[in-house]
Amino acid sequence: MATIVVLGAGIAGHTAAAFIRKKLSKKHQVVVVAPNAYYQWIPSNIWVGVGRMTVDQVRFRLAPLYKRWGVDFRQAKALSIHPEGETASAKPFVTIEYTDEARRGQLEKVPYDFLVNATGPKLNFDATEGIGPGKNTVSVCSYDHAAHAWTKLQEAFLKMEHGEKQRFVIGVGHPMSTCQGAAFEYILNVAYEIRKRKLSHLAEITWLTNEYELGDFGMGGAHIKRGGYITSTKVFAESFLRENNINWIKRAGVLKVEPGLIHYETLDGERKTMPFDFSMLIPAFAGAGLKAYDQQGEDISVKLFAPNGLMKVDADYTPKPFEEWRIEDWPSTYRSPLYPNIFAPGIAFAPPHSISKPMTSKSGLAIFPTPPRTGMPSGVMGKITALNIINLVNKGEHELKHRASMGKMGAACIVSAGYGMTRGAAATMTVFPIVPDFNKYPEYGRSIGYTMGEAGLAGHWMKWFMHYMFLHKAKGYPFWWLLPE
């Protein structure tokens, strides 16, 4: 009997656990360790943050579902990995600390034969002084953050209704933050809600980003086919902001946020400040903070993890100039090179390098986005990890068949602006591959046939449909496995 332990129940972890449990004999044990009692569909937190959905519309309890599936669920935080066990004959294990009310604070060792590290990111608000809930800005990175953002946004709306002008600053809150797409979607929805209330004359809205050009989105930008023409995502993004009367500041790294005042540095090396009344800034991401120890109890975290706490996998981490980065640098199985029974799909793996070109200000501050790995890519990685582990359990060690490099994987993104059946719009974009391949596609780095974008109400309907479709899949409703990642 094999025991597969999955750390994390986000898109990558939940997908991996679902497929392992469905396809692997019940004589094998599947354990999921996650600190939260709920699964959340993160892309819809945007709508929670503008009051269009409730928290319970984007989440559901994990325990009842995992009980039905026959998955052993432990509501706990993973603290450390012991990949060599405590003796030569003992199994490797993870140390966890329970977070549920009944066992809060209790520690436990959970042995495993295979480990899936799908802990996702730590929302590293501490990397930028003064940002985050409870400080000077809000967030939409989790359902509770989004609900808090909606509370603060209503306060700003109330002030506008009483004739008080409000300054909205939305974007990224660290010089190397990722998830520009989520912030971009949020600013469009905030602009829509202001316009719907006929308060635009009292709103000054600014997009604040570390992108060199708008539409970079941590992917180095893209050229898309739209209406028979080829245009850049820079034009695509700028047109959306202009249509919504949104100003922008690009090539900016936020340094510190005080009450009502953002301090940032530009690539030119200038230090500037910007006043605000309401601000949502995406924080930096880091690893979940897991430690690793060998059989003698020595700390081997630096061997398993990159300096940012994300796990090293089957990638080429050799430092090299930007011009020498290759598609082959990117991992395809998300397997640890040191311990072949450990995998790290989704945001938990350490990228070998950025996708966007690294930029440094005159003072030496790195200002550019780190690679996005949320949503569809995380789901695909979770699935191929599950399929590979299933084969390893059933067949023993062999060359892994299932692979999903971001240099050979496409992704779809829908950025909504508004809500409802007849109102609102969305920018729908697909890119292939996620990491540009200039050897195969020398002109644009990506296939123009599969990289395209459109804007309109139909895209908004698709976004709405996908919310219910992916929750249907995550809840394990009939034929869930037929739905795409």
pLDDT on residue 474:
95
Per-residue pLDDT tens digits for 321-358: 999 999 999 999 999 999 999 999 999 999 999 999 99
Per-residue pLDDT tens digits for 75-112: 999 999 999 999 877 899 999 999 999 999 999 999 99
pTM: 0.95
In total, how many domains does the chain have? 1
Average of per-residue pLDDT across 220-225? 85
**To the nearest whole percent, how much of the chain has pLDDT over 90?**
82
Q: Does residue 20 belong to any structural domain of this protein?
A: yes
Range of the domain at 80: 3-123+286-395
**To the nearest whole percent, how much of the chain has pLDDT over 70?**
96
- CATH number of residue 68's parent domain: 3.50.50.100
pLDDT on residue 87:
84
Per-residue pLDDT tens digits for 439-465: 999 999 998 887 776 666 666 677 778
Q: Does residue 272 belong to any structural domain of this protein?
A: no
Per-residue pLDDT tens digits for 242-285: 999 999 999 999 999 999 999 999 999 999 999 999 999 999 99
Q: Does residue 149 belong to any structural domain of this protein?
A: no
Q: Does residue 345 belong to any structural domain of this protein?
A: yes
Q: Does residue 378 belong to any structural domain of this protein?
A: yes
pLDDT on residue 460:
66
SS3 readout for the chain:
CCEEEEECCCHHHHHHHHHHHHHCCCCCEEEEEECCCEEECHHHHHHHCCCCCCHHHCEEEHHHHHHHHCCEEEEEEEEEEECCCCCCCCCCEEEEEECCCCCCCCEEEEECCEEEECCCCEEEHHHCECCCCCCCCECCCCHHHHHHHHHHHHHHHHHHHCCCCEEEEEEECCCCCCCHHHHHHHHHHHHHHHHHCCCHHHEEEEEECCCCCCCCCCCCCCEEEECCEEEEHHHHHHHHHHHCCEEEECCEEEEEEECCEEEEEECCCCEEEEECCEEEEECEEECCCCEEECCCCCECHHHHECCCCCECCCCCCCCCCHHHCCHHHCCCCCECCCCCCEECCHHHECCCCCCCCCCECCCCCECCCCCCCCCHHHHHHHHHHHHHHHHHHHHCCCCCCCCCCCCCCCEEEEEEECCCCCCCEEEEEEECCCCCCCCCCCCCCCCCCCCEEEEEHHHHHHHHHHHHHHHHHHCCCCCHHHCCC
Q: Does residue 311 belong to any structural domain of this protein?
A: yes
Per-residue pLDDT tens digits for 166-180: 999 999 999 999 989
Q: Does residue 384 belong to any structural domain of this protein?
A: yes
Query: For all residues of the chain together, what is the average pLDDT?
Result: 93
At residue 413 the predicted structure's pLDDT band, cuts being 50, 70 and 90, is confident
Indicate if the pLDDT at residue 414 is higher than 80. no
Q: Does residue 359 belong to any structural domain of this protein?
A: yes
Average of per-residue pLDDT across 11-18? 97
